[in-house]
Amino acid sequence: MIQFEHVGKRYGTSEVVSDLSLSIKAGEFCVLIGPSGSGKTTTLRMINRLIEHDSGRILFDGAEIRSFAPEALRRRMGYAIQSIGLFPHWTVEENIAAVPKLLGWSKAKIRDRVTELLGLVGLDATTYRGRYPQHLSGGQQQRVGVARALAAEPQVLLMDEPFGALDPVTRDALQAEMLRVHAASGTTIVLVTHDMDEAIRLGSRIVILDQGRIAQAGSPREILTRPASDFVADFIGRDEMGLRLLSIETVGERMRPGEEAAGEPIAASATLRHALSLLVSRAADRLPVTGADGAPAGVIHLADLTVGRP
Protein backbone atom coordinates (compact mmCIF):
# COMPACT_ATOMS: atom_id res chain seq x y z
CA MET A 1 0.00 0.00 0.00
CA ILE A 2 2.81 2.42 0.96
CA GLN A 3 6.35 1.75 -0.12
CA PHE A 4 9.46 3.72 0.74
CA GLU A 5 12.39 2.95 -1.59
CA HIS A 6 15.74 4.42 -0.53
CA VAL A 7 14.04 7.61 0.61
CA GLY A 8 16.11 10.54 1.80
CA LYS A 9 15.32 13.95 3.22
CA ARG A 10 17.80 16.66 4.15
CA TYR A 11 17.59 20.16 5.56
CA GLY A 12 20.68 22.05 4.45
CA THR A 13 23.58 19.80 5.26
CA SER A 14 21.78 17.64 7.81
CA GLU A 15 20.28 14.42 6.57
CA VAL A 16 17.18 13.73 8.71
CA VAL A 17 16.00 10.63 6.82
CA SER A 18 18.58 8.42 5.11
CA ASP A 19 18.13 5.60 2.64
CA LEU A 20 14.83 4.53 4.20
CA SER A 21 13.21 1.47 2.64
CA LEU A 22 9.98 0.17 4.11
CA SER A 23 6.93 -1.54 2.74
CA ILE A 24 3.66 -1.03 4.61
CA LYS A 25 1.03 -3.53 3.57
CA ALA A 26 -2.70 -2.85 3.24
CA GLY A 27 -4.41 -3.32 6.60
CA GLU A 28 -1.18 -3.14 8.57
CA PHE A 29 -0.94 -1.17 11.84
CA CYS A 30 2.57 0.23 11.56
CA VAL A 31 4.04 2.14 14.50
CA LEU A 32 7.04 4.44 14.06
CA ILE A 33 9.02 4.91 17.25
CA GLY A 34 12.45 6.28 18.12
CA PRO A 35 14.25 8.93 20.13
CA SER A 36 13.42 12.60 19.70
CA GLY A 37 14.72 13.89 16.37
CA SER A 38 15.08 10.42 14.81
CA GLY A 39 12.83 11.37 11.86
CA LYS A 40 9.45 9.87 12.82
CA THR A 41 7.30 12.90 12.04
CA THR A 42 9.27 13.65 8.88
CA THR A 43 8.73 10.07 7.67
CA LEU A 44 5.00 10.24 8.43
CA ARG A 45 4.50 13.61 6.75
CA MET A 46 6.30 12.55 3.62
CA ILE A 47 3.47 10.04 3.07
CA ASN A 48 0.82 12.73 2.57
CA ARG A 49 3.27 15.23 1.06
CA LEU A 50 3.16 17.69 3.92
CA ILE A 51 6.93 17.25 3.56
CA GLU A 52 8.44 16.41 0.17
CA HIS A 53 11.13 13.74 -0.03
CA ASP A 54 14.39 14.66 -1.79
CA SER A 55 15.53 11.29 -3.04
CA GLY A 56 14.26 7.77 -3.59
CA ARG A 57 10.61 6.93 -4.23
CA ILE A 58 7.47 6.74 -2.13
CA LEU A 59 4.71 4.69 -3.74
CA PHE A 60 1.03 4.73 -2.80
CA ASP A 61 -1.03 1.99 -4.40
CA GLY A 62 1.90 1.43 -6.76
CA ALA A 63 2.23 5.05 -7.98
CA GLU A 64 4.84 7.62 -6.90
CA ILE A 65 3.09 10.02 -4.52
CA ARG A 66 4.34 12.98 -6.53
CA SER A 67 1.96 11.88 -9.30
CA PHE A 68 -1.05 12.64 -7.02
CA ALA A 69 -2.29 16.17 -6.36
CA PRO A 70 -1.57 16.78 -2.65
CA GLU A 71 -5.25 17.55 -1.95
CA ALA A 72 -6.39 14.33 -3.65
CA LEU A 73 -3.83 12.36 -1.67
CA ARG A 74 -4.90 13.93 1.64
CA ARG A 75 -8.56 13.13 1.02
CA ARG A 76 -7.62 9.46 0.84
CA MET A 77 -5.45 9.68 3.94
CA GLY A 78 -6.84 10.71 7.32
CA TYR A 79 -4.41 12.69 9.45
CA ALA A 80 -4.57 13.14 13.21
CA ILE A 81 -1.98 15.02 15.25
CA GLN A 82 -1.44 15.72 18.92
CA SER A 83 -1.94 19.46 18.57
CA ILE A 84 -5.30 18.58 16.98
CA GLY A 85 -5.65 21.51 14.57
CA LEU A 86 -9.44 21.78 14.80
CA PHE A 87 -10.91 24.85 13.12
CA PRO A 88 -11.86 27.09 16.07
CA HIS A 89 -14.85 28.77 14.40
CA TRP A 90 -16.42 25.50 13.29
CA THR A 91 -18.55 23.27 15.48
CA VAL A 92 -17.52 19.70 16.24
CA GLU A 93 -19.91 18.52 13.52
CA GLU A 94 -18.50 20.95 10.94
CA ASN A 95 -14.95 19.94 11.82
CA ILE A 96 -15.66 16.23 11.43
CA ALA A 97 -17.63 16.86 8.22
CA ALA A 98 -14.85 18.80 6.48
CA VAL A 99 -13.62 16.07 4.12
CA PRO A 100 -17.01 14.36 3.53
CA LYS A 101 -18.33 17.80 2.49
CA LEU A 102 -15.48 18.25 0.03
CA LEU A 103 -16.31 14.82 -1.34
CA GLY A 104 -19.93 15.93 -1.89
CA TRP A 105 -21.64 13.58 0.59
CA SER A 106 -25.35 14.30 1.22
CA LYS A 107 -26.33 16.18 4.39
CA ALA A 108 -28.13 13.12 5.77
CA LYS A 109 -25.13 10.85 5.16
CA ILE A 110 -22.78 13.35 6.83
CA ARG A 111 -25.10 13.71 9.83
CA ASP A 112 -25.29 9.96 10.33
CA ARG A 113 -21.54 9.59 9.95
CA VAL A 114 -20.87 12.32 12.56
CA THR A 115 -23.23 10.56 15.00
CA GLU A 116 -21.50 7.24 14.36
CA LEU A 117 -17.98 8.68 14.76
CA LEU A 118 -18.73 10.58 17.96
CA GLY A 119 -20.07 7.32 19.40
CA LEU A 120 -16.94 5.54 18.25
CA VAL A 121 -14.63 7.93 20.10
CA GLY A 122 -16.83 7.95 23.19
CA LEU A 123 -18.51 11.38 22.94
CA ASP A 124 -22.27 11.82 23.23
CA ALA A 125 -23.40 13.11 19.83
CA THR A 126 -26.35 15.16 21.11
CA THR A 127 -24.19 16.98 23.66
CA TYR A 128 -21.11 17.59 21.57
CA ARG A 129 -21.96 17.94 17.88
CA GLY A 130 -22.90 21.62 18.16
CA ARG A 131 -20.04 22.68 20.46
CA TYR A 132 -17.04 24.76 19.45
CA PRO A 133 -13.51 23.44 20.12
CA GLN A 134 -12.78 26.00 22.87
CA HIS A 135 -15.65 24.51 24.87
CA LEU A 136 -14.06 21.05 24.91
CA SER A 137 -11.30 19.66 27.13
CA GLY A 138 -7.97 18.83 25.52
CA GLY A 139 -8.82 15.11 25.56
CA GLN A 140 -12.21 15.72 23.99
CA GLN A 141 -10.57 17.81 21.27
CA GLN A 142 -8.17 14.94 20.57
CA ARG A 143 -11.11 12.55 20.24
CA VAL A 144 -12.74 14.91 17.74
CA GLY A 145 -9.42 15.06 15.88
CA VAL A 146 -9.40 11.27 15.58
CA ALA A 147 -13.07 11.26 14.49
CA ARG A 148 -12.30 13.87 11.83
CA ALA A 149 -9.38 11.84 10.50
CA LEU A 150 -11.63 8.79 10.19
CA ALA A 151 -14.60 10.68 8.69
CA ALA A 152 -14.34 9.84 5.01
CA GLU A 153 -13.32 6.23 5.60
CA PRO A 154 -9.78 6.87 4.44
CA GLN A 155 -7.67 4.07 3.00
CA VAL A 156 -4.80 5.22 5.16
CA LEU A 157 -4.78 6.82 8.59
CA LEU A 158 -1.68 8.80 9.58
CA MET A 159 -1.44 9.60 13.28
CA ASP A 160 1.25 11.65 15.00
CA GLU A 161 1.14 11.08 18.77
CA PRO A 162 -2.66 11.31 18.67
CA PHE A 163 -3.04 10.29 22.32
CA GLY A 164 0.06 12.11 23.58
CA ALA A 165 -1.53 14.64 25.90
CA LEU A 166 -4.22 12.39 27.33
CA ASP A 167 -4.50 11.06 30.86
CA PRO A 168 -3.73 7.33 31.17
CA VAL A 169 -7.38 6.25 31.49
CA THR A 170 -8.52 8.17 28.41
CA ARG A 171 -5.45 7.05 26.48
CA ASP A 172 -6.16 3.45 27.36
CA ALA A 173 -9.79 3.82 26.19
CA LEU A 174 -8.78 5.46 22.90
CA GLN A 175 -6.10 2.83 22.25
CA ALA A 176 -8.75 0.16 22.69
CA GLU A 177 -11.03 2.09 20.29
CA MET A 178 -8.23 2.29 17.72
CA LEU A 179 -7.70 -1.47 17.88
CA ARG A 180 -11.43 -1.98 17.39
CA VAL A 181 -11.61 0.53 14.52
CA HIS A 182 -8.60 -1.08 12.88
CA ALA A 183 -10.01 -4.60 13.21
CA ALA A 184 -13.43 -3.50 11.92
CA SER A 185 -12.31 -1.26 9.04
CA GLY A 186 -9.07 -2.84 7.87
CA THR A 187 -7.69 0.68 7.38
CA THR A 188 -3.93 0.88 6.99
CA ILE A 189 -2.62 2.87 9.95
CA VAL A 190 0.76 4.52 10.42
CA LEU A 191 1.20 5.93 13.92
CA VAL A 192 4.06 7.86 15.50
CA THR A 193 4.61 7.50 19.24
CA HIS A 194 7.22 7.90 21.96
CA ASP A 195 5.58 5.28 24.11
CA MET A 196 6.92 1.73 23.78
CA ASP A 197 3.95 0.21 25.61
CA GLU A 198 1.61 1.94 23.14
CA ALA A 199 3.70 0.65 20.22
CA ILE A 200 3.58 -2.92 21.56
CA ARG A 201 -0.15 -2.76 22.22
CA LEU A 202 -1.17 -1.24 18.89
CA GLY A 203 1.40 -2.19 16.30
CA SER A 204 1.23 -5.23 14.08
CA ARG A 205 4.67 -3.96 13.09
CA ILE A 206 7.02 -1.66 14.94
CA VAL A 207 9.63 0.37 13.09
CA ILE A 208 12.36 1.73 15.35
CA LEU A 209 14.16 4.75 13.89
CA ASP A 210 17.57 6.02 14.91
CA GLN A 211 19.04 9.16 13.33
CA GLY A 212 16.89 8.86 10.22
CA ARG A 213 17.59 5.19 9.65
CA ILE A 214 15.69 2.02 10.50
CA ALA A 215 17.32 0.37 13.51
CA GLN A 216 14.85 -2.54 13.37
CA ALA A 217 11.43 -3.34 11.92
CA GLY A 218 9.37 -6.32 13.01
CA SER A 219 6.42 -7.58 15.00
CA PRO A 220 6.35 -6.64 18.70
CA ARG A 221 7.35 -10.22 19.49
CA GLU A 222 10.33 -10.16 17.11
CA ILE A 223 11.57 -6.85 18.46
CA LEU A 224 11.22 -7.93 22.09
CA THR A 225 12.69 -11.38 21.71
CA ARG A 226 15.35 -10.62 19.10
CA PRO A 227 16.51 -6.99 19.39
CA ALA A 228 18.85 -6.39 16.45
CA SER A 229 21.35 -4.23 18.32
CA ASP A 230 22.33 -2.79 21.68
CA PHE A 231 20.61 0.41 20.60
CA VAL A 232 17.30 -1.43 20.15
CA ALA A 233 17.69 -3.37 23.42
CA ASP A 234 18.42 -0.12 25.27
CA PHE A 235 15.57 1.64 23.56
CA ILE A 236 13.06 -1.07 24.48
CA GLY A 237 14.31 -0.71 28.04
CA ARG A 238 16.24 -3.65 29.46
CA ASP A 239 14.62 -3.21 32.88
CA GLU A 240 11.13 -3.31 31.38
CA MET A 241 11.82 -6.18 28.98
CA GLY A 242 10.23 -8.87 31.15
CA LEU A 243 7.02 -6.94 31.71
CA ARG A 244 6.81 -6.11 28.01
CA LEU A 245 7.23 -9.76 27.09
CA LEU A 246 4.34 -10.52 29.43
CA SER A 247 2.23 -7.88 27.70
CA ILE A 248 2.36 -9.58 24.27
CA GLU A 249 1.03 -12.94 25.47
CA THR A 250 -2.40 -13.84 26.75
CA VAL A 251 -3.37 -15.92 29.75
CA GLY A 252 -5.12 -18.34 27.35
CA GLU A 253 -1.80 -19.17 25.67
CA ARG A 254 -0.18 -20.30 28.93
CA MET A 255 -2.99 -21.56 31.17
CA ARG A 256 -3.50 -25.18 32.23
CA PRO A 257 -6.84 -26.16 30.67
CA GLY A 258 -9.28 -28.15 32.75
CA GLU A 259 -7.67 -27.32 36.14
CA GLU A 260 -9.75 -25.59 38.79
CA ALA A 261 -8.88 -23.02 41.45
CA ALA A 262 -10.74 -20.78 43.87
CA GLY A 263 -10.99 -16.98 43.62
CA GLU A 264 -11.99 -14.17 41.30
CA PRO A 265 -11.19 -15.35 37.73
CA ILE A 266 -9.17 -13.63 35.02
CA ALA A 267 -10.23 -13.73 31.35
CA ALA A 268 -8.23 -15.95 29.00
CA SER A 269 -7.91 -12.91 26.71
CA ALA A 270 -6.15 -10.83 29.41
CA THR A 271 -2.40 -10.30 29.10
CA LEU A 272 0.11 -12.18 31.24
CA ARG A 273 1.16 -8.79 32.57
CA HIS A 274 -2.34 -8.32 33.92
CA ALA A 275 -2.19 -11.81 35.44
CA LEU A 276 1.12 -11.00 37.15
CA SER A 277 -0.36 -7.83 38.61
CA LEU A 278 -3.31 -9.77 40.06
CA LEU A 279 -1.07 -12.55 41.40
CA VAL A 280 1.15 -10.03 43.19
CA SER A 281 -1.70 -7.92 44.53
CA ARG A 282 -3.50 -11.00 45.85
CA ALA A 283 -0.29 -12.68 47.06
CA ALA A 284 -1.54 -15.77 45.21
CA ASP A 285 0.33 -18.38 43.18
CA ARG A 286 -2.55 -19.21 40.81
CA LEU A 287 -5.69 -17.71 39.28
CA PRO A 288 -8.79 -19.37 37.80
CA VAL A 289 -9.31 -18.48 34.12
CA THR A 290 -12.57 -18.00 32.22
CA GLY A 291 -13.06 -18.34 28.47
CA ALA A 292 -14.84 -15.95 26.08
CA ASP A 293 -18.19 -17.42 27.17
CA GLY A 294 -17.43 -16.66 30.83
CA ALA A 295 -17.24 -20.36 31.74
CA PRO A 296 -14.24 -21.79 33.68
CA ALA A 297 -11.47 -22.67 31.23
CA GLY A 298 -8.46 -23.52 33.40
CA VAL A 299 -5.87 -22.11 35.79
CA ILE A 300 -2.78 -19.94 35.34
CA HIS A 301 0.08 -20.48 37.81
CA LEU A 302 2.75 -17.93 38.69
CA ALA A 303 5.36 -20.39 37.39
CA ASP A 304 3.64 -20.48 33.98
CA LEU A 305 4.72 -16.87 33.37
CA THR A 306 8.40 -17.78 33.24
CA VAL A 307 8.33 -21.26 31.68
CA GLY A 308 10.31 -21.51 28.44
CA ARG A 309 11.79 -18.04 28.61
CA PRO A 310 15.49 -17.48 27.95
| Neighbouring C-beta atoms of residue 306, cutoff 10 Å | 12
Provide the Cα torsion 198, 199, 202, 203; round to 10°: 180
> Residue 162, interface with ligand ATP (CB under 6 A)?
no
DSSP string, 105-132: --HHHHHHHHHHHHHHTT--HHHHTT--
CB of 109 to ligand ATP, least distance (A): 36
Regarding 40 and contact with ligand ATP (CB under 6 A), the answer is yes
CA-CA distance, 114 to 189, in Å (whole number)? 21
Per CB under 6 A, which region of 31-39, 101-109, 147-155, 227-235 contacts ligand ATP?
Answer: 31-39
**Among residues 6, 11, 176, 240, which is the contact residue for ligand ATP, using CB under 6 A?**
11
Instruction: Choose, by CB under 6 A, the member of 23, 37, 167, 237 that binds ligand ATP.
Output: 37
Task: Give me the least distance between CB of 287 and ligand ATP, in Å please.
Answer: 39
Q: Could you give the CA distance from residue 241 to residue 202 in angstroms, rounded to a whole number?
A: 17
Give 123 or 207: the residue with its C-beta nearer to ligand ATP: 207
Q: Which of 22, 31, 38, 100 binds ligand ATP (CB under 6 A)?
A: 38
**Can you spell out the DSSP letters for 140-180?**
HHHHHHHHHHHTT--SEEEEESTTTTS-HHHHHHHHHHHHH
Nearest approach in angstroms of CB 269 to ligand ATP is 32
Q: According to CB under 6 A, which one of 8, 15, 16, 19 is a site residue for ligand ATP?
A: 16
Residues that bind ligand ATP (CB under 6 A): 11, 16, 34, 36-42
